[in-house]
Amino acid sequence: MTPRLAILCLEDEPPVRDAIVRDLEPFAPTVVVETAESADDARAALEELRATGDHVALVLADHLLPGETGVEFLVELHHDPDLAGARKVLVTGQAGLEDTIEAVNRAKLDHYIAKPWAPEQLRSVVRDLLTDFVAEHVDDVLPYVQVLDGGRLLAVHAKRAGDR
């Protein structure tokens, strides 16, 4: 079985969460979206994902959440060696300048998507970041050629694979 790519979506408002999941449906079944409504919830989801053997490739986090903020969670995630390769995105309308600076400097934020987003824009960012992840962290890139940026993954494959 090919390991799937997992996206963790941290968002406390159900309609927004549903919208993200719906916008990312075209990536199924190679990509699976797990949702969480708080940082604690997200940690539990990550535990479960670890057990499945899927690659945790991307975290989409809102900033203002009950309890810990999205930026705080991303900073913590950045220091988890198991998730060193996971791409981090803030999807929010409420992160101030300081929070955003914090996210860039201490969580090495990969992208900032301002609400409301256009579905096509979200998919394009996700496709790019997942392709980055696969190119860097997955040995066999072929299973992801169809759903991600195939041209870029094939260029990676050309360097790695030989005749046998």
Partner 1 sequence: MRRRERGASEQTALQRVGLLAALVAFVLPLVLQPDGLDAAGHRMLGVFLAAIVLWVTEAIPLHATAVAIIGAEILLISDAAVLPVPGGFEAPPFADFYAALANPVLMLFLGGFFLAEGAAKYSLDRNLARVLLKPFGTSPRGIMLGLMLITAVLSMFMSNTATTATMTAVVLSVTATLPPGDRLRTGLALSIPIAANVGGIATPVGTPPNAIALGGLAEAGITITFLEWMLATLPFMLLTLAAAWVLLGRLHRSPTKSISLSIEGKFETSRPALIFYVTFIVTVGLWLTEPLHGVNSQVVGFFPVVVLLATRVFGVPEIQNVRWDVLWLVGGGIALATGMSAAGVDAWIVGLVEWEVLPTAGLLVVLALIALGLSTTISNSATANLLVPIGLTMAMSDAVAVNPLLAGIIIAVGCSLAMALPISTPPNAIAYATGAVTTRHLAVAGLAVGAIGLVLFLGVAPLLWDLLGIAGM
Binding site for partner 1 (CB under 8 A): 55, 81-82, 84-85, 136-139, 142-143, 145-146, 150-151, 154-155, 157-159, 161-164
Query: Smallest distance from the beta carbon of 151 to partner 1, in angstroms?
Result: 4
Query: Smallest distance from the beta carbon of 2 to partner 1, in angstroms?
Result: 10
In the chain, the amino acid numbered 67 is G
Instruction: Identify which of residues 85 and 119 has a Cβ nearer to partner 1 in the complex.
Output: 85
HSE (CB half, 13 Å, CA atoms) of 91? 24
Instruction: Identify which of residues 81 and 116 has a Cβ nearer to partner 1 in the complex.
Output: 81
Instruction: Identify which of residues 1 and 97 has a Cβ nearer to partner 1 in the complex.
Output: 1
Query: Smallest distance from the beta carbon of 136 to partner 1, in angstroms?
Result: 7
Q: Widest CA span of the chain, in angstroms?
A: 54
If phi > 0 it is left, if psi is from -120 to 50 it is alpha, else beta; for residue 108 that is: left
User: What are the phi and psi torsion angles at 112 (to 5°)?
Assistant: -125, 120
- CA pair distance 50, 15, nearest whole angstrom: 27
Instruction: Identify which of residues 50 and 115 has a Cβ nearer to partner 1 in the complex.
Output: 50
